[in-house]
Each structure stands twice: as C-alpha cells, then as structure tokens.
A and B are shown apart, each in its own frame.
Chain A
Amino acid sequence: MQPDQMKDALFDSVRQALETMAFILADEAQEATEIPTTAKRISMSFTGPTSGTVELIASESFGQTLAAGALGLDPADEEVLSKVDDALKELINVVVGHMMPAIAEDRSDVFSLALPELGDIPADDWSDFIATPSASVFVADGAVIAARVTK
C-alpha cells in the first residue's frame, strides 16, 4: 500500500470515527492553528499484511468534548471527567478498526491490533509530529487534533 493511500484511509477513518462516536464534525485545518499547550498522545499498532502505528494527538479538553458526546452528558459532568483518557483510547481503537478494511488488500487479510497506549506530549513536539508527511491536522469542534500513521 502506498503511503498516500494509507494517509487517506486514516484521514477518512478519523472523520468517520468522530462523527459516529460523538457527533463531532472534523475538517482538515486550512491554515496555521493554535497548538494546545498540554496534549495527549494516543497510539495503537497493527500487524498483518501491512503493519504500522497510528498516532493521534489531542488536547485534554478535546478528550472531554469527545467523552461528553459519546456518553450524551454535559462536558462538566463528573462521569465525563473520569472518562477522558478512556474516550481518547476508544477513539483510536475505533479509528484503527475503521481503517483496517480500507487498507486490506484481500478480504481474507487478518490484522492483529495492539492495545491503545496513552501519554502526554510536550507542546514542542507538535511541530515535529505534524511535519511528518503522513500527518493530517484537523479542526474538530473548535479543537485541533493531529493524526499520522508510521510504518
């Protein structure tokens, strides 16, 4: 699979996952966007006919918006606040799940998925992340998120 095809598959998967999971519409960022000072990095590896790692970076407040949308609760609700990390992990799980059929070259292809990993990312690392050719930057519900897939 060509890198551009992989990037397109990830782009579509992120948009679809956000919309179906939490009714969040995401568009490609058209110009320089304000980078959040504190952000989470979520990653998930897959192996199979094609192998790689999908990574997402998003602010904690976006995670709150995501959890609120998925749970159908107010973003300030205590249950939402306790499930921000969980929502971000579930987002990448859904993104990778959506992406696999798109990158499968044959219907019999089997992929093995690792568990999602989550950590903090320093603001300085954003520019390196989005400079990767496979990276896409989105504006979703007023927040900036970035995604990339690396082999």
Chain B
Amino acid sequence: MGYRFLLVDDSAMTRAVIKRVIGMCGVEVDKILEASNGKDGLAMLRVTPVSMMFLDLNMPQMSGMEVVKAVRADPKLAHVPIVIVSSESTESRIEQMKADGVNGYIKKPFTPEQIGDIITTILSTQSTGDAHAA
C-alpha cells in the first residue's frame, strides 16, 4: 500500500510536472488524484483520504487559501499535510500561509529536488506519528 497524493492546480502542465517528480522520488505511490480548481480538490479530499496535497493559490472557483481554511476547519481533514506551490512570494502572503497552517511552501517555478525533499520530509514526519499523521 503506497501513498496517495492530491494535486490541485489549474495548470495541467504544473500538475504533469509534479506528477512526474512524485513518480521519480522513490516513494511508493498508490494513487495521484488531480483537480483543476479548489472546489473540486476539496470535494475529492472529502471522498478520498490522501497522504498529502499540493495546492496552488490562484485558481478559479475556490482559491488555495480558501481550501486551506476549509481543510483546517474540518476535523476529518485537518490533519492532511498541505504544501502550497505558487508563484506568489510576497512576505505578507507567506506569513499568511504559515498563520493558516500550511505545512510547506514551494515557489514556482520549482526544481524536482524541492518537490522530492518536501515529500520526504512530510512523509517521514507522518511515519513517526506526528500530529499531522494520516
């Protein structure tokens, strides 16, 4: 049984790149779910438990920060590790993400190493029984 990932980004190209990196980073993958907006991503998360999610900020229908707030407010989902992948990089935005409880932030464009490193860090935290464990 491997890990499940959820990729929520309105850019199919970005989802394709992250998907490829996940496949190369040496973790056992059960499934990679994809959504092109926050609303669909949240709906998928409510149906299918995942080990972690990668989330864009600027998306149609429901922004990434709205998804973060909805996830953290839902006792059944609040433990899911969230990594923001966004081009938005003002200090105020990054501070807001931390305050809202995201587990990591990667600035676009990213390197495969950045994605691989954050997956390793978050999944190893889960396996040691951290409060964010699935």
Contacts and interface: CB of A to CB of B under 8 A. Distances in A.
Contacts of B109: 17, 20-21, 70, 94
A96 B107 CA distance: 13
Contacts, number: 68
A107 B109 CA distance: 22
B8 to A, nearest CB: 15
A85 to B, nearest CB: 9
Contacts of A83: 12-13, 16
Interface of chain A, main secondary structure: helix
Interface residues of B, number: 22
Given A86-B13, A90-B14, A110 B87 contact: no
Nearest to A100: B90
Contacts of A113: 58, 88
Interface of A: 17, 20-21, 67, 70-72, 79, 82-83, 86-87, 89-90, 93-94, 96-98, 100-101, 104, 107-111, 113, 115
